[in-house]
Amino acid sequence: MNQTMTAPDPAMAPPGRETVVQVTDLRRRYGGSDGFEAVRGVSFSVGRGELFALLGTNGAGKTSTLELVEGLAVPSAGTIRVFGRDPYRERTAVRPRTGVMLQEGGFPADLTVAETARMWAGTLPRAHPVDHTLELVDLRHRARTQVKQLSGGERRRLDLAMAILGQPEVLFLDEPTTGLDPESRHNTWQLVRALLVDGITVLLTTHYLAEAAELADRLAIMHRGRIVTAGTVADVVAAHPARISFELPDGTSPTDVPTLPGIQPAPAGAAPRSGSRLTLYTDALQPALTALLGWANARGVELGGLDARAASLEEAFLAVAHSEDESMTGGTA
Partner 1 sequence: MTAPAGATTGRSGMSGRLGLGGVSLRRIGALGRAEMILLLRNKTAATTALLLPLATVGLFSTFLEGDGHVSTGAFLATGMFGFVLLYVVYYNLVTTYVARREERVLKRLRTGVATDAEILIGAAVPALVLALTQTVLTVVAAMVFIDLPVPVNLPVLLLAMLAGCAIFVLLAAASSGFTRTVETAQLTTLPVLVISMIGSGVAGSVDAMPDTFATVCRMLPLTPVLDLVRLGWLGTTGAEAPRDFVGVLSEARQPAVIILLWLAVGVSAIRRWFRWDTRH
Q: Summarize as ranges the residues that interact with partner 1 (CB under 8 A).
A: 30, 70-72, 91-93, 95-96, 98, 100, 102, 104-111, 115-116, 118-126, 162, 166
Which one, 74 or 239, has the nearer CB to partner 1?
74
Whole-number minimum distance, CB 143 to partner 1, in Å?
15
Torsion angles phi and psi, residue 198, rounded to 5:
-75, 0
Which one, 70 or 154, has the nearer CB to partner 1?
70
Which one, 38 or 292, has the nearer CB to partner 1?
38
Q: Percent helix, strand, coil in the chain (nearest 5)?
A: 35, 25, 40
Whole-number minimum distance, CB 123 to partner 1, in Å?
5
SS3 83: coil
Question: Which residues 6+ apart lie within 8 Å of 241 measured at CB?
Answer: 262, 264, 267, 281, 282, 283, 311, 315
Whole-number minimum distance, CB 88 to partner 1, in Å?
11
User: Environment class of residue 276 by beta-carbon count within 10 Å: exposed (0-12), middle (13-18) or buried (19+)?
Assistant: middle
User: Environment class of residue 197 by beta-carbon count within 10 Å: exposed (0-12), middle (13-18) or buried (19+)?
Assistant: exposed
Whole-number minimum distance, CB 131 to partner 1, in Å?
17
Which one, 96 or 261, has the nearer CB to partner 1?
96
CA distance 64 to 37: 10
Whole-number minimum distance, CB 115 to partner 1, in Å?
6
Which one, 112 or 279, has the nearer CB to partner 1?
112
